[in-house]
């Protein structure tokens, strides 16, 4: 059983009015001392509550990347559960990927969505294609690679108007990150959707591993 690119309804989002922060970071956000994701990452405090991301990114969107039935052998016999992979993003520079397991599909998706929020990262966007040079953040600033398990992906900047030359799974994740134009090369067992999605997420995270000339000016 598998599903790719299914959007989750807004009713799945937690009610922030009933949220009672349990961590220091959550209390700082509720007190208004941290108001943006930039401030959050500069603080260096780990995100431990999914509601933190919802409060700072109100327009966060969710997509179900994959749902599979997994089985585990126990003393009492085989135990079956569902494993879900969910991506979250605001289509403007932030992306998260998470997984969750439960005996019910809905619960597995909810766990994966909460886990994706805890893993959210910023994505550096730019115009790294020699064919374009428009200077607008429509692609990635340079070529990056991502790896996970036996899968490796290469993300290559593309000119404006190219679109996403990639698989459907990649288009969902890249779209949530706010990337619009690029080429993607994939190697290994790309049919293993969890590893493939993780490799793409790893590549997007690596966009902040290299400091560009623009960053020096800032």
CB 148 within 8 A of CB 132: no
Pairing verdict, β 121-122 and 61-74:
unpaired
pLDDT in the model for residue 18: 79
Q: What is the pLDDT of residue 131?
A: 86
* Bridge partners of residue 87, in order along the sequence: 63, 97
First vs last C-alpha separation in the chain: 48
* Dihedral angle, C-alpha 2, 119, 141, 56, nearest 10 °: 110
Quote the CA–CA distance of 130 and 142 in Å, as a whole number.
Answer: 10
Rg of the chain's alpha carbons, rounded to an integer?
A: 18
Q: Is 62 in contact with 6 (CB distance < 8 Å)?
A: no
Per-residue confidence (pLDDT) for residue 213, from 0 to 100: 53
Same fold, 6-119 and 144-217: no
CATH of domain 144-217: 3.30.230.10
Is residue 113 within 8 A of residue 12, CB to CB? The reply is: yes
| Ranges of each domain in the chain | 6-119, 144-217
Q: Where are the alpha helices (DSSP H) in 32-156?
A: 37-43, 50-56, 105-118
Looking at residue 4, its pLDDT comes to 57
Q: What percent of the chain has pLDDT over 90?
A: 65
- From the CB of residue 138, how many other CB atoms can be counted at a distance below 10 Å? 22
What's the pTM value of the predicted model, to 2 decimals? 0.88
pLDDT at 10: 43
Residues of the chain with pLDDT under 70: 1-15, 17, 211-218
The pLDDT of residue 208 is 86
Q: Rounded to whole angstroms, how far apart are CA atoms 86 and 70?
A: 16
Question: Helices (DSSP H) in 57-121: which residue ranges?
Answer: 105-118
Strand 6-7 and strand 61-74: pairing?
antiparallel
What kind of architecture, by CATH, is found in domain 6-119? 2-Layer Sandwich (3.30)
């Amino acid at each position: 059983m598998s599903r790719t690119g299914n959007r989750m309804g807004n009713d799945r989002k937690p009610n922030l009015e009933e949220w009672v922060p349990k961590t220091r970071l959550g209390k700082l956000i509720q007190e208004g001392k941290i108001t943006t994701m930039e401030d959050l990452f500069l603080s260096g405090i780990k995100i431990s509550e999914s509601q933190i991301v919802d409060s700072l990114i109100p327009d966060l969107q969710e997509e179900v990347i994959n749902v599979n039935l997994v089985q585990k052998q126990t003393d009492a016999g085989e135990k079956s559960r569902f494993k879900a992979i969910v991506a979250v993003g605001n289509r403007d520079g932030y992306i998260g990927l998470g997984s969750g397991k439960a005996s019910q599909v809905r619960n597995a998706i909810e766990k994966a969505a909460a886990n994706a929020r805890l893993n959210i990262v910023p994505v550096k966007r730019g115009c790294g294609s020699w064919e374009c040079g428009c200077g607008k953040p429509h692609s990635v600033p340079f070529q990056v690679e991502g790896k996970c398990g036996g899968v490796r992906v290469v993300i290559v900047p593309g000119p404006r108007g190219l679109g996403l030359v990639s698989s459907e799974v990649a288009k969902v994740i890249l779209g949530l990150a706010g990337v619009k134009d690029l080429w993607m090369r994939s190697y290994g067992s790309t049919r293993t959707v969890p590893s493939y999605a993780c490799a793409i997420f790893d590549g997007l995270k690596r966009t902040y591993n290299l400091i560009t000339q623009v960053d020096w000016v800032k």
